[in-house]
Structure 1
Amino acid sequence: MENKYLHKITAAGVNVCRFLLAAVFIFSGFVKANDPYGTAYKIQDYLEAWGLLQIVPGFAPYVGAMAMGALEFTLGVYLLFGIHRKAVSTLLLLVMAFMTPLTLWLAIDNPISDCGCFGDAIILTNWETFGKNIVLLLASIIVFRWRKTYLKKLVTEKVDWLIALYTVVFVLVFSIYCVRELPVFDFRPYHIGMNIREGMEIPEGVKPTTYETTFIYEKDGKRQEFTIDNFPSDSTWTFVEALTRVKEKGYEPPIHDFMITLQEDGTDVTEEILDDDSYTFLLVSPALRNADESGMDLINEVYDYSTEYGYRFLCVTASSDEDIIVWQDNTGAEYPFAIADEITLKTIIRSNPGLVLLKDGTILNKWSVNNLPDEYQLNAPLEKLPLGTLTVPNTWHKVMQVFGWFFGPLIFLALCDLGWMKWHKRKMDS
């Protein structure tokens, strides 16, 4: 009787660990597949911290981002349904055995502010991430230890191959869709419906985070750190770099780095854009050198449309003057250019280039380079078009859509497979 009771407790504990791991890996893989560019940027941060960024091919972080999302999502789904239990439990243990000491290093050394485990959906500190991974490592050990005894399949062997195959196809197609278009779920502060000015404000009575900037100078091969109050008076010191550190943690607004200056004369037009009660098109390109030129005809048409109706149009980039000139020569661009921080531009839109529509500092719409509005959509003033009206996407509606995309074809294929099996059996019996 006691052994039976212990058996039930062990079975329950193993399956709690199983479903915990499945839920975390499905969610983690999905948010990475939803925003492959964001994951690639985080991989670049890791490579830079390890001093490997310059020797790794430029495409590698993007391929790695899609592979990570697909792997995590697939492992989570397989574990949930009990498919390939031995291989999955082994891989999960290996992943957690690698990630746990890695996040301990992140927590101690703090080369990156957050690990990016859940993208922009959930931001954890490095110590919170390490604590989370300790729990998941213990869960993966338990699942691995009792994988043969207590991990039961939730589907029959007749359809598990369909679930296995379709899971991989779904997550890869979804990831490619989000690369070509834009993330289905936008967890960043520059989402549609966000008022940029409100995102920059600090609530009254709340203490903001304070920072300290120090400056590294070099002289005779020796480097020394100075503050703004004790700059070296000796002109033989050579400036190397500036470092900004958090002096005291406090409230930090979701948007704190939005600033746009005209490339022509350096005029700050941030306030002018945020206060403009008319429409503003921002063509956002963090690096024009790497930008996709395939949509340039449509972009030039949008610029002509903006000129016709008196709307502001700016190409905002972090590129050099030389790269801007090359871009103008290659694309015939006649629109004005402005400069902004590269990381800010990568955060605003996951497309290079991408198009953003603002009014009164509120983001009304966003388009990737593969989904730009054309002359048939821009056939009247924006005041009279759906494109010029704020329509905030319904999150739950999108969640149900994604569930439908995943489970709808899966159920259909499973029913087809079961129907074929029954037909085949009747044929064999006859």
Structure 2
Amino acid sequence: MKDKHLHIIQQIGANVCRFLLAAAFIFSGFVKSVDPLGSQYKIQDYLSAFGMASWFPSFFPLLGGIILSAVEFSVGIFLFFGVRRSVASTLALILMIFMTPLTLYLALFNPVSDCGCFGDAWVLTNWETFGKNVILLIAAIIVFKERKLLIRFVSQKMEWLVSLYTLFFVFTLSFYCLDRLPVLDFRPYKIGKNIPEGMTIPEGAKSSVYESIFTLEKDGKKEEFTLENYPDSTWKFVDTRTVLKEKGYEPPIHDFSMVELNTGDDITDDVLTDMGYTFLLVAHRIEEADDSNIDLINDVFDYSVEHGYKFYCLTSSPEEQIELWKDKTGAEYPFCQMDDITLKTMIRSNPGLMLIKNGTILNKWSDEDIPDEYVLTDKLENLPLGQVKVESDTHTIGFVVLWFVIPLLLVLGVDILIVRRRERRAAKKRQNNVNEKKEKTREDNGEKSSF
């Protein structure tokens, strides 16, 4: 009796740990898969922090981020349904054995501000991440040791279909969000957000003090300047960065600063308080930007000029790269300098297009989805394009979940109605055969005894 009770307790404990791991891995894999470029940037931060950026080819951070999200999501789904138990429990344990010491190092030395394990959806401090990973590591050890006690929700004959569809779903979602934009935006530059409000410091809160540092070059000599001592136009722009001088309350948006390339003027307030429409072409590194749809971008600029709207290209690239872009694309729009991280946060596309009015983000487009002449048929005031694009995270999540769940429900239905029914029939047939053999044995024994 004690052994039976112990077995039940072990089974309950193993399955509780299994669902805890499943929830963590599904959430982590999902939020990474909807933002593959965000995962790429975080992996690049890791490689730079550890001095390993030159060790890997340029495509590695993006490919690694997509594969990591697929592995995490798949492991979570496998654990949830109780399929591929050996593979899932082993991968979960390997991941936690790797991540737990890593996050301890991050907590102690802080080479990156956050681990990025849940993307921008849920930002944890490095110590919070380490504590979370310790719990998950314990759960992973228990699940690995007791993997045979995990309850199955799908039969062995159908688990291949669940596995295959899970991989298809997560890779399709990642590449869709890479080609377009993330279907869920967890960043402060989400459509409908007001940029000045995101920069506001609550009354009484001490604000952080930031300073923009500009690297300029003249006569082969590079020097750093601030806005206060920005030199004349004979200096060529090389790079810009934002540094924290004094820590305080940090608003969601704290580093939005537009510096016009030709004049060196900060035009941030003019743009954010403009009651008219402004198109912002965001290309965090202009030399890496995709120019396959440059004709559409130039058409949008021509449309802006025709209707009196403002248009700026925001980049962190040096002036010589901007001049090369102009020569290559025929760009006539003005350029502004901005912090590279800010540009990456604003939109997950290089280039990407953003439409704002009075500081409010009305819409965003990836390079593959820029509006064309069939959309820009009138003034923005008369088009749905000129209004805030209506988005519902609840609706989006529900749609994505249904896209994943409905096929799996069909699989479960087939599994229950057909596969398991066949298994029950086969088991019943085997039992009948055993009973018939027993009956025949008894009859044979009876015949022998009668002699």
TM bin (shorter chain): 0.7 to 0.9
**Partner in structure 2 of residue 155 of structure 1:** 154
Distance 2:211 2:289 in 1: 35
Considering only CA atoms, is the larger Rg found in Structure 1 or Structure 2?
Answer: 2
**Partner in structure 2 of residue 218 of structure 1:** none
**Partner in structure 2 of residue 165 of structure 1:** 164
**Partner in structure 2 of residue 188 of structure 1:** 187
- SS where residue 54 of structure 1 aligns? helix
**Partner in structure 2 of residue 204 of structure 1:** 203
**Partner in structure 1 of residue 352 of structure 2:** 354
Q: CA RMSD in A?
A: 2.5
Query: CA contact under 8 A between 1:75 and 1:92: conserved in structure 2?
Result: yes
Q: 2:302 aligns with which of 304, 307, 318?
A: 304
The alpha-carbon distance between structure 1 residues 46 and 397, as it changes in their structure 2 partners (threshold 3 A), is: same
Stretches of structure 1 that go unaligned for 5 or more consecutive residues are: 215-240
* Residue 396 in structure 1 maps to residue 390 in structure 2: no
> 1:17-416 counterparts in 2 under 5 A?
17-148=17-148, 150-209=149-208, 248=247, 250-412=248-410
Distance 1:392 1:119 in 2: 24
- SS where residue 379 of structure 1 aligns? coil
Distance 1:26 1:314 in 2: 39
Distance 1:111 1:121 in 2: 21
Distance 1:247 1:383 in 2: 43
Task: Provide Cα deviations, 1:263-299, integer angstroms capped at 9, x if missing partner.
Answer: 1111111000100010000000001111011111111
Task: Provide Cα deviations, 1:67-122, integer angstroms capped at 9, x if missing partner.
Answer: 11001001100111111111211111111011100000000011001000000000
Distance 2:242 2:262 in 1: 28
Query: CA contact under 8 A between 1:158 and 1:418: conserved in structure 2?
Result: no
- SS where residue 336 of structure 2 aligns? strand
Deviation at 1:330, TM superposition (A): 1.2
Distance 1:23 1:417 in 2: 24
Query: CA contact under 8 A between 2:241 and 2:340: conserved in structure 1?
Result: no
Deviation at 1:11, TM superposition (A): 1.7
The code of the aligned residue for 2:44 comes to Q
The alpha-carbon distance between structure 1 residues 399 and 194, as it changes in their structure 2 partners (threshold 3 A), is: same
The alpha-carbon distance between structure 1 residues 212 and 192, as it changes in their structure 2 partners (threshold 3 A), is: closer
Distance 1:316 1:385 in 2: 25
Distance 2:168 2:357 in 1: 39
Deviation at 1:158, TM superposition (A): 3.0
The alpha-carbon distance between structure 1 residues 147 and 337, as it changes in their structure 2 partners (threshold 3 A), is: same
Distance 1:101 1:287 in 2: 34
Distance 1:290 1:417 in 2: 49
Distance 2:241 2:167 in 1: 45
Distance 2:420 2:30 in 1: 35
Query: CA contact under 8 A between 2:155 and 2:420: conserved in structure 1?
Result: no
Distance 2:183 2:93 in 1: 30
**Partner in structure 1 of residue 435 of structure 2:** none
Query: CA contact under 8 A between 1:159 and 1:418: conserved in structure 2?
Result: no
Task: Provide Cα deviations, 1:190-220, integer angstroms capped at 9, x if missing partner.
Answer: 0001100000011102233467999xxxxxx
Q: With structure 1 as the length reference, what TM-score do the two structures score?
A: 0.88
Query: CA contact under 8 A between 1:162 and 1:414: conserved in structure 2?
Result: no
Distance 2:80 2:417 in 1: 24
Deviation at 1:177, TM superposition (A): 0.3
Query: CA contact under 8 A between 1:286 and 1:317: conserved in structure 2?
Result: yes
Deviation at 1:420, TM superposition (A): 8.1
Query: CA contact under 8 A between 1:349 and 1:366: conserved in structure 2?
Result: yes
The code of the aligned residue for 2:160 comes to W
Query: CA contact under 8 A between 1:178 and 1:184: conserved in structure 2?
Result: yes
Task: Provide Cα deviations, 1:127-173, integer angstroms capped at 9, x if missing partner.
Answer: 0000000000000011011111x112111223211110000010001
The code of the aligned residue for 2:259 comes to T
Task: Provide Cα deviations, 1:322-347, integer angstroms capped at 9, x if missing partner.
Answer: 11111111111111111111110000
The code of the aligned residue for 1:153 comes to R
Distance 1:73 1:210 in 2: 39
The alpha-carbon distance between structure 1 residues 211 and 276, as it changes in their structure 2 partners (threshold 3 A), is: closer
Distance 1:285 1:79 in 2: 40
- SS where residue 65 of structure 1 aligns? helix
Distance 1:404 1:341 in 2: 39
The code of the aligned residue for 1:188 comes to R
Deviation at 1:419, TM superposition (A): 8.0
Query: CA contact under 8 A between 2:208 and 2:244: conserved in structure 1?
Result: no
Equivalent residue pairs, number: 399
Distance 2:251 2:63 in 1: 32
The code of the aligned residue for 1:59 comes to F
Distance 1:390 1:286 in 2: 24
Q: With structure 2 as the length reference, what TM-score do the two structures score?
A: 0.84
Distance 1:202 1:34 in 2: 30
The code of the aligned residue for 1:28 comes to S
